[in-house]
Amino acid sequence: MGTDNLVFLEALEWFDETGQELLYRLPESGSGEIKYGAQLTVRESQAAVLYYKGRAGDAFGPGRHTLKTGNIPIITKILSIPWAGTSPLRAEVYFVNLKVFPNLKWGTRDPVAFRDSELGFVRLRAHGVFNIRIVQPVLFINTLAGTMGKYNTEQIEDYLRRVIVSRLNDYLGETLETLFDLPAQFDELAAGLKKRLVKDFIRFGLALDELYISSITPPEEVQAAIDDRSRLGAIKDMDKFIQMKAGMAMEKAAQANNEAGAGLGLGMGMMMPGMFANVTNAQQSNVQQQNSGQASSTKPTSVPTTECSDCTNTIAADARFCPFCGHQQVVLLQCGNCEKNLTPGAKFCSRCGHRADEKPAAPICPHCQNENLPGAKFCDNCGQQVS
């Protein structure tokens, strides 16, 4: 590529060979002297951001783009003699991978506390997978990657896993009464937890594409109690169940090659008609035929849309500014208190008045003094409600 050569212009492009890189910077080491007229090629699954003189420009979409900087071949090197031949007009390009990163693992490193309405205090282990993608490239760079030359899923997966587990603890405390209701609510819990995590991800320019709960398991003794209750619930008629067990026992005894087995087999043959006198054949259900042949309708091709990151109205996907609130769609900075999109260099939020660099406070549990994530309502350690 040659970002510091004397004469030639640069041709900038990037391919992710690992499939796990969220971001990559050119040049690879530090900044460079990208020249006026350099060619930038961006693929369909990428976005590129030019940082020039330390500031982020617009995000470049798919296609070939001509970069405009103050570095002119040969002339810039001559004018940079006072700086030992190094141009002060530093520039670098960040390539951001916009594809979906699937199959990221999340799970409880330590059991989380949960107060069950029937079983009392129990500790749960939960596991699952989630998919993420970058939706605001500049915000992602400014809040997470910073000046790093590479950023992959391993570097962020551990933090996102901790956020998911913390919000799961909150969500279970608010929506689930007892573990006996858990098996029928996995899909609902995953959908509700995904909505709860939207704000935690979007503040870093990320979107939670999908989230799945593979298992939520209590301790072994609690699992045994749940299994016992499910066995009792599966038996509709205890009398018929006892009759079935007695018949199976007599059948095994009759198959034994001895005189006692032969006697039991004879007795079983005499008792079977009485034992199964009340068993009737199930009636066959009528199969309802659905009307077919509905006229197929072709939907007109719709323009791709997205949601304004500030006012949440539906706008065109390629819109640079929202037609409803006027906000620029490339988010550079967000307020840590109310999540208002801020202009570059803003020191205070125009909505809530808080400082732009202010971070939300982490709530401390009044019972065990454990530090939780901002916005947590239940403690990760003891399960008590955090005021």
Confidence (pTM): 0.63
| Pairing verdict, β 206-217 and 150-152 | unpaired
Q: Which of 166-180, 243-257, 354-368 has the highest mean pLDDT?
A: 166-180
CA gap 200, 281 in Å, rounded: 57
Instruction: Indicate the class that CATH gives domain 101-222.
Output: alpha beta
Q: What is the mean pLDDT of residues 195-208?
A: 92
List, in order, residues 6 or more apart from 282 with CB less than 8 Å away.
none
Q: Is the pLDDT of residue 99 over 90?
A: yes
pLDDT attached to residue 135: 92
51 vs 372, which has greater pLDDT?
Answer: 51
CA distances from 118 to 168, 179, 222, 226, 300 (A): 20, 8, 11, 11, 54
Q: Which of 214, 171, 125, 170 is nearest to 380 (CA)?
A: 170
Rounded to 10 deg, the angle between the 238-254 and 259-275 helix axes is: 150
pLDDT attached to residue 302: 63
Q: Is the pLDDT of residue 332 over 80?
A: no
3-state secondary structure 264-301: HHHHHHHHHHHHCCCCCCCCCCCCCCCCCCCCCCCCCC
145 vs 339, which has greater pLDDT?
Answer: 145
> Of 150-154, 218-222, 256-260, 290-294, where does mean pLDDT reach its minimum?
290-294
Q: Is the pLDDT of residue 3 over 70?
A: no
Q: What is the mean pLDDT of residues 157-166?
A: 91
Domain spans in the chain, listed from the N-terminal domain onward: 11-97, 101-222, 308-382
Q: Is the pLDDT of residue 239 over 90?
A: no
Q: Which of 378, 379, 30 is nearest to 174 (CA)?
A: 378
Assign 356 a pLDDT band (cuts: 50, 70, 90): confident
255 vs 169, which has greater pLDDT?
Answer: 169
Q: Is the pLDDT of residue 212 over 80?
A: yes
